[in-house]
Amino acid sequence: MHILTGMNLKEIESITDRLHQSKFRARQIHNWIYLKSAKSIDDMTDLSKDFREELKKVAKVSEVKIKVKQESSDGTLKYLLEYPDGECVETVLMRFDNRANLTACVSSQVGCAVNCSFCATAKRGFIRNLNYKEIIEQVLTIQRDTGLKVTNVVFMGQGEPLLNLDNVVRAMEIFNESFQIGQRRLTVSTSGIIPGINRLAELNMQSTLALSLHAPNHDLRKKLMPIEGKYNLNDLKIALKNYVDKTGRRITIEYLLIEDLNDTVECAKQLANYLKDLKCNINLIPYNPVEYNDYKRPSNNSIMKFKCLLEHSGKKVTVRLERGVDIDAACGQLKGKVCKNIKL
Ligand code: SAH
Ligand code: SF4
């Protein structure tokens, strides 16, 4: 049985060829999947009934189930999806007032091996990579369920995308070619996996690279993110500059703000200094509470003070809008709580 989700036009043509149908039929099926978000082959109403029956014998649209769907008071939707092997991941749809953008936040792995101290996903450890079809299923599920077309995709759900780069790049190609989402509307966020950053630079994609920096010096970063022991700030800087040189793209620096830990005046100065010769914007992410640690979110005053200090260095600084905190859908809160062996 073929699963149509994740197939490109050529692959769909190989099915229609075998059923002695024209390439035009393949194009229709392709558009039903990616642009019109068909839930089943029966939805593809411009195919003849006979052909749909033939197609149903050899193919189906998807194998993913929505296990739980939650809606936040701010309109954010969070889905817990289950793949055929019983593993689950979360995916989030964010809508921002006054903007036409619909942003899907997708997971790239079940769990994560990077083990950052502030992140709920880390607590599950690493379970497995998602393949590219499983990644794009997340966006299709959102589209099918809401009837809306996703306009932006961020790889900021569970997992470290640059430790699953082949599948992530393939998924990005499909978002671009089949979903017709521009490369600039695709963002990959990484904890700083240098070989992955270098590979992305070589591919010269026009997507956005977001780097989770979170601390401006080695000791503090190592405390928050053990990956600093392997890929440290000095080496990261070289990789980031190379990325900018090769792609011409401005990097987004993500900086988590935790009260009295990395939100001090001294940290702001060190951060400005670290970033001074890098083409980047800075996105401050106030810490979202998760169990297992006693970090605190700084007051709005300290957040604004930190922002002002950085702005003095001439960088564009934004504070990330908090979405979906009441349903644990905000940054760092995804852990795929309900998973196999646990009954709902
Ligand atoms: N693994 C990738 C992408 C997923 S996390 C990465 O780490 O970049 C997306 C963003 O949420 C990262 O910047 C991550 O550091 C941040 N994050 C993790 N836990 C958080 C928390 N408790 N509060 C706010 N942001 C958090
Ligand atoms: Fe993994 Fe990102 Fe969470 Fe770190 S913040 S544990 S890299 S998902």
pLDDT at 330: 72
CB 228 within 8 A of CB 222: yes
- Ligand 1 center from residue 202 Cα (angstroms): 25
Residue 50 CA neighbour count, 13 Å, CB half: 3
Active site residue 13: no
pTM of the model: 0.93
Distance CA 340, CA 175 (A): 29
pLDDT at 267: 97
Check residue 102 and give left, alpha or beta (phi > 0: left; psi -120 to 50: alpha). Answer: beta
User: Considering 13, 90, 228, 254, which one is annotated as catalytic?
Assistant: 90
Residues with CB under 6 A from ligand 1: 118-119, 156, 160, 189-191, 212, 254, 256, 285, 287-288, 290, 331-332
pLDDT at 339: 40
Among 329, 335, 308, 333, smallest CA distance to 319 is for: 308
- Ligand 2 center from residue 331 Cα (angstroms): 10
Provide the residue-wise pLDDT of the chain in tens; the chain has 344 residues. Answer: 899 998 989 999 999 999 999 999 999 999 999 989 899 999 999 999 999 999 999 999 999 999 999 998 888 999 999 999 999 999 999 987 666 889 999 999 999 999 999 998 888 899 999 999 999 999 999 999 999 999 999 999 999 999 999 999 999 999 999 899 999 999 999 999 999 999 999 998 899 999 999 999 999 999 999 999 999 999 999 999 999 999 999 999 999 999 999 999 999 999 999 999 999 999 999 998 888 788 999 999 999 999 999 999 999 999 987 777 777 777 767 766 544 333 22
Q: What is the DSSP letter of 332?
A: T
Distance CA 161, CA 167 (A): 9
| Max CA pair span of the chain | 71
CB 111 within 8 A of CB 120: no
Distance CA 225, CA 102 (A): 30
User: Considering 112, 119, 280, 331, which one is annotated as catalytic?
Assistant: 331
CA distances from 128 to 116, 124, 125, 159, 164 (A): 18, 11, 10, 9, 10
CA distances from 225 to 12, 266, 334 (A): 43, 19, 17
pLDDT at 292: 76
Distance CA 193, CA 160 (A): 9
pLDDT at 327: 72
Q: Which of 189, 193, 290 to mutate to test the pocket of ligand 1 (most atoms within 8 A of CB)?
A: 189
Among 279, 271, 274, smallest CA distance to 245 is for: 279
Active site residue 90: yes
